[in-house]
Amino acid sequence: MRFLHTSDWHLGRSFHRVNLLSAQRAFLDHLVETVRAREVDAVLVAGDIYDRAVPPLAAVELFDEALHRLAGLGVPTVMISGNHDSARRLGVGSGLMERAGIHLRTDPAGCGTPVLLDDAHGPVALYGLPYLEPAMVRDILGARRADHAEVLGAAMDRVRADLAGRPAGTRSVVLAHAFVTGGAVCDSERDITVGGVASVPAAVFDGVDYAALGHLHGCQILTERVRYSGSPLAYSFSEAGHRKSTWLIELDAAGSVQAERVDCPVPRPLARLRGTLEALLDDPAQVRHEQSWVEATLTDTARPHEPMARLTKRFPHLVSLVFDPDEVPGHSSASYAQRLRGRSDQEIAEDFVAHVRAGRAADAQERAELQSAIDEVRAAEMTAEVAR
């Protein structure tokens, strides 16, 4: 059976205030054509369909159009909600959509109920595990603790239990939206840290033939059977080195996996340039970036006059301008944002405590109280989102 694995469409998202709707439409055109031309048996979409819980109307219309086109091809599509989606909103009408072959899996309680497909070699069970916010789903899944590893492990226990009751030789696929240990992160992914631990081990997916993952925006192979497709478009300059693609997965009669990357259309390349203003304006080597989306980091020790206007004349698609002056001896030029980059909410809170107490760091009890407060805020945000 042949699957097309994709994720993290983030419909409705912009790139540094540049509207990406036309680029997202071009990707969906490419996806539908790939499904048709490569005779795909099912499409797997591993979460973050939309960029936010209440997406703009244009994004909803684009999603609706894509579903109609996939249904028109007669190709089943299995989708799960991600941490950017409102699971309740995305799941509205899922019962009716299922009749057209569009299977939306947004309810954590349904983790152990698969979509069943058949080919010449027998049945394939596809299990959709939507994004599992630990504090919200712990009781639903009967997990011992409210952390990512526990709730995803409890969901996979339901998958394995259901699979054990199916005919011998039934092949299995799981869709999940999570941060799995070993995956490389980038700046455009929303932090899902809970209890100080965001990642789960790849071994949680043991027992199934293929795990189609979403959440991380880079296409990655964790094992031959556990893969991220990555996002089809770049959503931050940290993705400048990504090759955006989907996975074409072949599952043979024995459940062995063969995978092929299918490149996505690139609306415009990304370039991260660094140097003084005059160097960037005069360097002939930068000609190749003149039609790219550009992030320019200026290293001038004194801020130059009208840098944006001057750079835009050479790089008309300049969308981000950063000032990072060359270090002056005895002075630190690192910005507040740069000092915080890559640090978790817990680490930032602990640094603040140490700062206001003249270097005396938080003790174990204080660290636990800070983490508890952060988890409560995250849970309150998720509750408010569900209620909206």
Q: What is the pLDDT of residues 211-233, one digit of tens each?
A: 999 999 999 999 999 999 999 99
Percent of the chain with pLDDT over 90: 76
Q: What is the pLDDT of residues 337-358, one digit of tens each?
A: 666 676 888 888 888 887 776 5
Per-residue pLDDT at 286 = 95
How far apart CA 141 and CA 49 sit, in angstroms, is 24
Per-residue pLDDT at 194 = 46
Average pLDDT on 18-44 reads 97
Straight-line distance from the first to the last Cα atom of the chain, in angstroms, rounded to the nearest whole number: 39
Amino acid at 159: V
DSSP state of 182: T
Q: What is the pLDDT of residues 54-88, one digit of tens each?
A: 999 999 999 999 999 999 999 999 999 999 999 99
Q: Give CA separation, 370 vs 173, 380, 384, in Å.
A: 38, 15, 21
Nearest to 173 by CA among 237, 102, 97, 114: 114
Q: b/e map of 336-349 (b: 16 or more CB within 10 Å)?
A: eeeeeeeeebbeeb
Nearest to 6 by CA among 214, 242, 235, 256: 214
The whole-angstrom distance between residue 112's C-alpha and the CA centroid of its chain comes to: 23
> Per-residue pLDDT for 332 more than 60?
no
Residue 253: strand, helix, or coil? coil
Task: Look over the chain and give the mean of its residue pLDDT values, rounded to a whole number.
Answer: 91
Burial of 255 (0-12, 13-18, 19+ CB in 10 A): middle
Q: Phi, psi at residue 310, to the nearest 5°?
A: -70, -40
Structure tokens at 132: 């599992």
